[in-house]
Structure 1
Amino acid sequence: MKVVDPHIHLWDLKTHQYPWLANPGVSFVGDARALKHDYLLDDLLKDTGDIELLKCVHVEANHDPKDPVEETRWLQSVADAPGSRAMPNGIVAAVDLSADNAAEVLEGHAAFANTRGVRQILNVHHDKLYDYVGRHFMRETLWRENFKRLRQYRMSFDMQLYPSQMEEAAALAKAHHDTQLIVNHAGMFVDRNSVAGYRAWRDGMRALAQCPNVAVKISGLAMFDHQWTVESLRPYVLETIDTFGVGRAMFASNFPVDRQFGSYGDLWRAYAAIVSAASEAEKDALFVRNAERLYRI
């Protein structure tokens, strides 16, 4: 089975700082203490097993916020090393668009050949268990002004948010129709125990899908379903594909975070089982071509 994986993370604890791994704890996404070890390209390639990884995209791993460009510098050196097969082929770098130095950071990231976009986690939730950032960045003037700079560098924006934020995100996408937005983790449907929660996810995803410049990664589902099965993932996968269409959806692993809940091969084979009735062209789009096109790799 051949895949392009558009959402992986690497880290080297010997040489770099990752504050979230300095004193890791347990949260709704699992036990971060199990992740407090180096996870390098060789480790990823070992995890792939019988899955043929053609290319991959690294998404920022919450590196030291004092020097986000250093993570990109390191990742480019990994990609440039002999035997790396140019992996990670694409880099989604970290930036705080609310910071005064955002323009400088974007310019720093843009200097590296494999940089394709940036991510800033946006998740806000009324329940502290699920809240990541505690502020509504998309409503802030400086953040929105710096968001405009992405066009200058041909950078996409990986958007990690909750359903309650999707209406605002759709408005942002419409205001910046020439910037590619990519929703992470199928929209992080976290409020699963109510009809209202499902409707918020469904309607929010539909609002985002109305924007031609928004795509979605089907990934991270295990963060909300630690005992997942093919059948438990199926409705979220199919609803996401139905909403965005085969042309704007792509599968991704979220490794090594989702490694806590299953092997790399089991995850990809589960995706394959769910879309087994799709055409070969549709499967090729979902597993390979969309990621290549959207991340220009």
Structure 2
Amino acid sequence: MQTAGAAKTTASPHAAVRPEWLALRREEIIEPELRIVDPHHHLWDRPGARYLPLDLVEDVNSGHRIAATVYVQSRSMLRTHGEPAFAPLGEVEFANGAAAMGSSGVYGETRLCAGIVGGADLALGDAVLPVLEAMLTVSSGRLCGIRNAVAWHPDPAVGSTTARTVPGMLCNPAFVRGASYLARFGLALDVWAYHTQLDDVYALARSIPEVTVVIDHFGGPVGVGSDKVARSGMPAHWRKAMQRLAGLPNTRVKLGGAGMPVLGFGFDREEMPPASQVLAQVMRPYVEMCVEDFGAARCMFESNFPVDKGMFSYHVIWNAFKRLMQGQGASQEEKNALFSATALETYRLAI
């Protein structure tokens, strides 16, 4: 069973955010009127890494038209009292407070945390039901999904989370049972797993057809450790697994996460932050293949901030996504899906 809030004592696997370095790159906003729903960001206060609601406000007000955002589980502000199973309610309460700030209009037009993806421990099986019910209550109706930390790789050089994970979590019968209950409440299941785990993701998604399964960060193509050495074979493995997942109508995929060191791009080692043209170029194969396999109506662009903020600024990554669509000659309907409509449908947001 996953223990709420359990974490390693190792250093953060994310690139450090350096505001002075990020300030070296400022771009004109492309298509500033295009409506965006950012379906994936976090908030936290960790040693040496703080990203709280006002930090998010600064980013969403940096030029693009961000209509709303979705907060995603990151084990923030867990309760330290009561039953451990209910500890993740603290995170939902925290995100709901940020949502109240956004709804006030004081900080701009963005509906911050309009949707909340919580962290109820699905490995509780039947016992997760009262936790989900309590989360719905404290979220003021904003709870729209659940995510657990499941990313695991046999190579110790591969890491993208400080949570303790073990192999086979997605195949645990109790986890599958817990995940099946999400359908009862209309909640999506977000999954951040590496490409080496996508067969497990497929088995899980196939076993719970009534639940929308959201595959985070391109499906986790690993570009470090032993997978970096064998990188010539990784894209084919990743593509085959993603095509198989695309065959399940209950799957969706988030396009983003290029700022995570585990993907292997290493922009943070450069003298200057990357320009949006550079980001568009490196992401293009993953974006094009995902859109081809899943269709625009099942794909959505994501910021993955502040995780990705160690490698590029918020306004730059959204410029990169827009450049990608310009390069592909996407229709207005396709752009609407990728930038907002898929997120609104997936998380049942009314904004």
TM-score (normalised: structure 2)? 0.74
In the other structure, the counterpart of 1:226 is: 266
Identity %: 29
Following superposition, the deviation at residue 148 of structure 1 comes to 1.7
**Residues in 2 aligned to 1:177 and 1:86: alpha-carbon distance in whole angstroms:** 30
Alignment-derived partner of residue 10 in structure 1? 43
Counterpart position of 1:30: none
Is 1:120 aligned with 2:142? no
CA deviation string 1:62-121 (max 9, x = no partner): 223841111101221222242365421000001221237533322221222100010012
Deviations 1:160-180 (A, max 9, x none): 111222122212212211100
2 CA distance for matches of 1:163 and 1:262? 24
Q: Which runs of 5+ in 2 are unaligned?
A: 1-31, 268-273
Once the two structures are overlaid, the 10-residue window that deviates more, 98-107 or 213-222, is 98-107
Say which is worse superposed, 69-78 or 99-108, in terms of deviation. Answer: 99-108
Read off the aligned partner of 1:175 and give its amino acid letter.
S
CA deviations on 1:189-245 (whole Å, 9 max, x unpaired) are: 003542332222111111111000000000112212232622112111111111211
Pairing 1:282–2:344 present: no
Q: Which residue of 1 aligns with 2:194?
A: 162
**Which residue in 1 is equivalent to 2:214?**
182
Larger CA deviation: 72-81 vs 54-63: 72-81
Distance 1:128 1:110 in 2: 37
CA distance in 2, matches of 1:164, 1:256: 25
Corresponding residue number in structure 1 for 2:242: 205
Between the aligned partners of 2:288 and 2:192, the Cα distance in structure 1 is 20
Q: In 2, are the aligned partners of 1:166 and 1:207 still within 8 Å (CA)? A: no
Q: Deviations over 1:127-177 (max 9, x none)?
A: 012255123112212212212211122111001111222122212212211
8 Å CA contact 1:123–1:162 kept in 2: the answer is yes
Matched, 1:52 2:80: no
Unaligned 5+ segments in structure 1 are 14-20, 23-32
Which one is further off, 162-171 or 263-272? 162-171
Amino acid at match of 1:80: A
Give the structure 2 partner of residue 241 of structure 1.
Answer: 291
Partner of 1:25: none
Question: SS in structure 2 opposite 1:195?
Answer: coil
Q: Normalising to structure 1: TM-score of the pair?
A: 0.87
Q: Is the 8 A contact 2:67 2:111 kept in 1?
A: no
The partner residue of 1:73 within 69, 93, 103 is 93
| Counterpart for residue 3 of structure 2 | none
Tell me the equivalent position of 2:123: 98
Q: Are 1:258 and 2:308 matched, yes or no?
A: yes
Distance in 2 between residues matched to 1:146 and 1:294, nearest whole Å: 19
Partners of 1:265 and 1:211 in 2: CA distance: 33
Counterpart residue type for residue 169 of structure 1: V
Asked whether the equivalents of residues 171 and 204 of structure 2 are also in contact (C-alpha less than 8 Å), the reply is no
Give the whole-Å Cα distance in 2 for the aligned partners of 1:144 and 1:213: 15
Runs of 4+ in 1 over 4 A off after TM superposition: none
Question: Aligned equivalents of 2:41 and 2:323: distance in 1?
Answer: 22
What is the distance in 1 between the residues matched to 2:66 and 2:100? 17
Q: Distance in 2 between matches of 1:203 and 1:151?
A: 28
Measured after TM superposition, the shift of residue 43 of structure 1 is 1.6
> Which residue identity is paired with 1:71?
E
